[in-house]
């Protein structure tokens, strides 16, 4: 039975104005207009902090998921140093490569030639997310090679991206990987071949040179610090990878990573697991040790009903968090990727950065402002 024409027009009109009202409101703008001093301290001098933020609302209707993105100063041409956020794509690419090699799995034991630390792929990935372990990430780089890692990401639409070097390691930008010694069984090992990657070219981006001085082994140097040979992993790529991992069904088959259901389950669990669950000392590695958004400025235990699936990075005065936040008690979830530079003196490598005074409190309050909005959103 057809509805009367007058009722049909009324329904369409309400729907139209409802969409228009949702479109014209900007919750991210409202969050950044907060009177909280943790927000105001940054927003009142926002130009010096190089803030970029993408916030995604998540709506569901029947079996479909819809994203609504809100941006603040997001620009892939404006460079920021991604630091440890690059460990997220390394973990995903390693899982995908494992899925292609019948003789390897998450529990396969291995060590890097010349290194005495034996581990498994599962341990390396867990350490990357729970405490942001640099050595664990570097082992995956030796397994993957920089070129293959970048190619895997770009093939799925995660771009722009350029992972060029290891983290906090000697010869970090060596283009040839070290062999892996892999245990086939308890008494038999195999050695992987080194991977030769392409030589780096300098990034041509805005804000690629920062500050007014920097320290090297030879002491203080004057002039801008040049990031053109560093890793490049902007907001677009970070947020795009997060969406593909949390909601793979939203993307075409070509843009989904080739992971098994058990690999997905393992990855998602690793992303939200807190350090204490893996046996780390909770006094040193408290719940929010690598959870900046919402909880970063507190050492108190996080609520059991809130899970943060994320990867943070902090180095050279830059703090970044790429997070999917889920409140199972109040049926709330949303995504935020945010970065901020806190280097008041403009000197790099001096270890004088305002992480605890400005950067982490800002990210924590930003997360709380958006969470409060989501609690009230229909």
Residue 232's pLDDT is what?
A: 98
Separation between Cα atoms, residue 368 and residue 378, nearest integer Å: 18
Q: Is the pLDDT reported for residue 90 higher than 90? A: yes
As a whole-number percent, the residues of the chain with pLDDT over 90 amount to 92
pLDDT in tens, 39-67: 999 999 999 999 999 999 999 998 899 99
Return mean pLDDT, the chain: 93
CB 206 within 8 A of CB 80: no
Query: Dihedral, CA atoms, 230, 232, 235, 236, nearest 10 degrees?
Result: 170
Helix axes 134-144, 121-130, angle to 10 degrees: 130
The sheet carrying 332-341 orders its strands as 64-72, 52-61, 332-341, 318-327, 306-315
Give the predicted TM-score (pTM) of the model: 0.93
Residue 169's pLDDT is what?
A: 96
Q: Is the pLDDT reported for residue 17 higher than 80? A: no
Give 355's contacts (C-beta < 8 A, 6+ positions apart).
314, 317, 319, 342
Q: What is the mean pLDDT of residues 165-191?
A: 95
pLDDT in tens, 113-164: 999 899 999 999 999 999 999 999 999 999 999 999 999 999 999 999 999 9
């Amino acid at each position: 039975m057809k509805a009367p024409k007058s009722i049909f027009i009324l329904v369409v009109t309400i729907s139209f104005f409802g969409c228009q009202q949702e479109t014209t409101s900007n919750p991210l703008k409202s969050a950044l207009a907060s009177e909280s001093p943790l927000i105001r301290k940054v927003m009142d001098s926002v130009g010096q902090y190089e803030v970029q933020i993408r916030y995604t609302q998540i709506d569901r209707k029947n079996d479909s998921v819809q994203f609504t993105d809100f941006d603040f100063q997001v620009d892939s041409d404006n460079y920021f140093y991604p630091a440890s956020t690059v460990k997220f794509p390394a973990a995903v690419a390693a899982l995908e490569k494992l899925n292609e090699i019948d003789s390897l799995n998450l529990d396969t034991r291995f060590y890097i030639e010349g290194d005495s630390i034996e581990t498994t792929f599962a341990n390396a990935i867990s350490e990357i997310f729970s405490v942001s372990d640099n050595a664990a990430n570097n082992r995956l780089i030796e397994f993957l090679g920089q070129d293959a890692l970048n190619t895997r990401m770009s093939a799925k639409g995660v771009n722009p991206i350029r992972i060029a070097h290891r983290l906090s390691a000697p010869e970090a930008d060596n283009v040839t990987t070290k062999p892996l010694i892999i245990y086939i069984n308890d008494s038999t090992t195999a050695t992987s071949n080194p991977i030769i990657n392409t030589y780096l070219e300098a990034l041509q981006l805005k804000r690629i040179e920062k500050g007014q001085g920097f320290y090297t082994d030879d002491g203080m140097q004057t002039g801008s610090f040049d990031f053109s040979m560093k890793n490049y992993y902007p907001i677009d790529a970070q947020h795009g990878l997060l969406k593909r991992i949390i909601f793979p069904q939203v993307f075409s088959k070509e843009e989904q990573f080739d992971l098994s259901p058990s690999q997905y389950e393992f990855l998602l669990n690793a992303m939200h697991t807190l350090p204490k669950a893996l046996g780390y000392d909770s006094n040193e590695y408290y719940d929010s040790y690598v959870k900046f958004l919402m909880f970063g400025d507190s050492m108190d235990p996080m609520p059991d009903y809130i899970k943060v699936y994320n990867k943070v990075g902090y180095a050279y005065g830059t703090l970044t968090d790429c997070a999917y936040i889920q409140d199972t008690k109040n049926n709330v979830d949303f995504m935020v990727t945010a970065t901020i530079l806190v280097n008041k003196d403009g000197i790099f490598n001096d270890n004088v950065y305002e992480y605890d005074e400005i950067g982490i409190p800002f990210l924590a309050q930003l997360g709380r402002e958006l969470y409060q909005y989501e609690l009230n959103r229909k």
